[in-house]
Every structure is written in structure tokens, then in C-alpha cells.
Amino acid sequence: MSFSTYRNGIAALALLVGMSAARAQTAKPEAAPAGTNVSSAQQAYNDGTEAYRAGKFDEAVHKFEEAYRVLKFPNMLFEIAQSYRRLYETSKDLEHLRKSLDLYRSYLNQASATASQRPVALQFIPVLEKTLNDASAERREELVAKATGKDGIFLADQLLVDGSPKDALLVLNRVLSAHRNSRDVMLAGYSKRALVLIKLGQRAAAVEDFKRTRAIDSKFVLPQNADAATVGAFETAKRAFPATEHLSISIIPPRGIEAEHPLIIPVKVDADPLHMVTDCAVFYRKAAHDSFMFAKSGPEHTTVTVPQSFIAALGPGESLEFYVSALDQNDSELTSIGSPQEPILLSMPGLPTGLSLTPTPNPALTAPIAVSPKRWYKKWWVWTLIGVAVAGAATGIGVGVYYAEKPSNPPAFSVTAQ
């Protein structure tokens, strides 16, 4: 039932609602027990009435509840219920509708058989119940239609707890038929769908989903609180599908990467007993970046390739992260070597960390120098001593000697790993 249908149903109660609204403007609290703070409760009740008349229904709720905490009169429950109902009409929040229903019921339980608002509450309750049921169904259908991935798995769990296995099955069917699911989502989807199918009495279909579950994860175990029917179906799947036959792939790990070439990784589907695999793919990204790109293997399933254009864009010393997966017909991952959390890492050649620079001797500086004997007057120290006596000449000769011995070529350096 849509909100417009709700409004039509409410319009049929217009006369009774009008009478109640009039009472909400003029009603006085019933006699209060001795010792209660009647004045504060009366003021809160009057404030709630004014807020209701002004269309401030959230404020009306607050004031009527404040009065009811002091004066536990049934007519105040009715006024709070009215305020929540009107608040739902503006907010479309189903929680307001639920509270309104609960308060109408509480009012009927506490009010006398002759209470003036009883006929109004009795007629509102079935209308609001239908509105709540229809609106809840519409919301559930919207959620089911949008359910994907981990959110869809969570929704299916909630629907199963709420006793709606048919809706849970719709959600899981949608999740498992979606594109690009992770292995974890596929594993949870098949295993939970098997549990739902058992509750719906579809044992044979549940056994098939348990087989798919064990193909993806041969170590999967049932929850400890699984009932006898579920355990029986799981044991049937185990007998028909030994753990040694689980789905598996292998690759030949590359030794490194080069900017001039694509990264070609040989891949092989070693076992696919249920024929679930339709392709293989490599998922790759620059190390520590957010999202993975992917490239499929093609019909032969013999190699997966990281494009050369991506490799060439990596700088010296930068790293490539990748993992390889077997995919189903919707490109969802069934089994992998590596994972998004623990990818395989390869680095571009560059100047890695942990290297040191060590000098290489210059042959021109280390070769022996031939020295011929010199006469005493050709020895430099003789002229140095003479120069000491000559004030200006000493400095010039000293500088000349220094530069004559200074190397003309600095030492060369090479890179060696420590």
C-alpha cells in the first residue's frame, strides 16, 4: 500500500480524527495522585497541545511524553500516538509509524471501556498495520533489488533471522549473479544460500551449493548450531565431492619486469571438477595505490598479461602488485594465487635501498712517480729557506708548491651493493 493509499484510508476517519484533535486542544489531565508535580505536567501537556495545533509534531511528542512521565494517564498515550502518526505523515519514517501503533495499543490496554478516544484508536490500528506491512514490504523489495556484495550477504542474514527465507533467497540469487564479486563474497553466498534452501525444503539444490562451497574452500565447515537437515545435506556433498578435488590454479612466477616488455605470466587451471571456471585474470596496480586493474587470459587460459604500457609507466625502483584469479561466467573470483590483501610484489630495476658509494682509485694518481737525483741548488728546500728571508717571495713560493701537488682529477665513484 502506497502512502497515498494510506492518506485515503485516513480520510475515511476524518470525522473521528477531528473530534480527537478538538479534544487535544481543550482536554485537561485527569485527577493526579497526591504528591505529583501537577503544575509542571499540566504546563507540558498544554505546550504539547499548542505544538500539535501548530503542526510541530516532534515537539508535541516531546511535551506529551514529558507530561506522561509525571502523570501516567491513558489519554496522554493517545495524544502521543496521534503525534507520532502525524509525524510519520511528514517524515515517512516507518519507525514513527511503529511507535504510533504501539502507543495506540498501549492506550487500549490501559484506558477504560468507555474512554472517549477508544473508537478512534480501534479504527486507526488496522489502517496503520496495513500501511506498515505494505511499506515494509516495499522497502524490503527496494533493498533486495539493490543488494550486492557484502551488503547483500548482510541483508540476507537479517532476512533469515527475521523469518523471511524467501526474501533471503532472492537477495543471495542477486548477489551470486552479480559481476566482479570477490572470492569471499562467492564463498559466503554459496554457503548461505545452501542454508536458506534447506529451510525452504530444497535439499537437492542445497547439496549442489555445498559442493560449490567446498570447491572454493575445501576446509569450509558448518556453523556449530546447524540443524540435522543442514548437516545431512552437507555430509552428502562431502561424500560426492572429496576435499582433494577442490578448484585450483597454478602460475609460473615471473623473475622480474622490464619497461620494454609486457609482463606475461603462464597460468594453468589444475582442477575444476564442477566446471565453474570460464576465464583467468591478472589483477594489478602500482604498489600501495587504491584500486586494481585487471586483464583476462582469453579462451585458452594459458597466460595472463600486464600490458607493457602499464609497466613502462613505472619509475625506477617502483613496484607492481598483482594476483591471479580463476573467474566464473560473471567475472567473479573463485580461487586466487595472491590476494588484494597479500599481492605478489615485483619491482622495477633502479637504485635500490641499502647501497653505498665507494671510491674507485684513479690510476693517474696511484701510479709511481719517477724521481731523479737533483743537485743541492735544485732542491726545493734550499730555495724555501732562502725565501724565508725574503718577505714577499715566501708566500708566492708556498702557493706554487701547494698547487703543484694538488690532484688535477677528483676520484671516480662506482655503485656496489652492501
**Half-sphere exposure in the Cβ direction for 220 (13 Å, CA):** 28
**8 plus 118 within the same structural domain:** yes
Q: Residue 355: its pLDDT value, please?
A: 36
Tell me the backbone φ, ψ of residue 238, rounded to 5 degrees.
-65, -40
Q: Of 245, 278, 312, which residue constitutes the final position of a domain? A: 245
Q: Is the pLDDT of residue 108 over 60?
A: yes
Q: How many domains, in total, are found in the chain?
A: 3
| 329-354: pLDDT as tens digits | 999 999 999 999 999 999 888 644 44
C-alpha dist (Å) from residue 316 to 313, 347, 349, 356: 10, 8, 6, 18
Using a cut of 0.85, tell me whether the model's pTM lies above it.
Answer: no
pLDDT band at 380 (very low <50, low <70, confident <90, very high): very low
Q: Residue 176: its pLDDT value, please?
A: 96
Q: Of 347, 378, 409, which residue constitutes the final position of a domain? A: 347
**9 plus 136 within the same structural domain:** yes
Residue 196: inside a domain: yes
pLDDT band at 299 (very low <50, low <70, confident <90, very high): low
**256 plus 341 within the same structural domain:** yes
C-alpha cell at 373: 737525483
Residue 60: inside a domain: yes
How many percent of the chain have pLDDT more than 90? 61
C-alpha dist (Å) from residue 370 to 14, 59, 181, 367, 400: 123, 107, 80, 10, 21
Whether the Cβ atoms of residue 266 and residue 254 lie closer than 8 Å to each other: no
- Nearest 5 degrees, angle CA 308-CA 309-CA 311? 60
**138 plus 186 within the same structural domain:** no
**162 plus 139 within the same structural domain:** no
Sole residue written with cell 495499543: 105
Residue 358: inside a domain: no
CATH assignment at residue 310: 2.60.40.10
**166 plus 57 within the same structural domain:** no
| 389-403: pLDDT as tens digits | 444 433 343 333 333
Q: Residue 36: its pLDDT value, please?
A: 58
Q: Residue 95: its pLDDT value, please?
A: 94
Structural element, H or E, at residue 55: none
| 211-255: pLDDT as tens digits | 999 999 999 999 899 999 999 999 999 998 776 778 999 999 888
Q: Residue 246: its pLDDT value, please?
A: 87
Q: Residue 132: its pLDDT value, please?
A: 92
Domain that holds residue 49: 3-143
Q: What is the mean pLDDT of the chain?
A: 80
C-alpha cell at 31: 485527577
Q: Of 113, 143, 173, which residue constitutes the final position of a domain? A: 143
Whether the Cβ atoms of residue 346 and residue 257 lie closer than 8 Å to each other: yes
pLDDT band at 33 (very low <50, low <70, confident <90, very high): low
- Greater confidence (231 vs 406) lies with 231
Residue 292: inside a domain: yes
Query: How many other C-beta atoms are found inside a 10 Å radius of the C-beta of residue 77?
Result: 25
Q: Closest Cα to residue 193, out of 214, 216, 176?
A: 176
**256 plus 225 within the same structural domain:** no
Residue 366: inside a domain: no
- Greater confidence (319 vs 144) lies with 319
pLDDT band at 188 (very low <50, low <70, confident <90, very high): very high
Q: From CA 306, how far away is CA 271, in angstroms rounded?
A: 24
Three-state secondary structure call for residue 379: coil
Sole residue written with cell 583467468: 280
How many percent of the chain have pLDDT more than 70? 74
CATH assignment at residue 173: 1.25.40.10
**205 plus 252 within the same structural domain:** no
Handedness of CA 161, 165, 167, 173 (dihedral sign): positive
Q: Is the pLDDT of residue 115 over 80?
A: yes
Residue 296: inside a domain: yes
Average pLDDT over residues 139-147: 84
Residue 81: inside a domain: yes
Q: Residue 378: its pLDDT value, please?
A: 46
Q: Residue 353: its pLDDT value, please?
A: 42
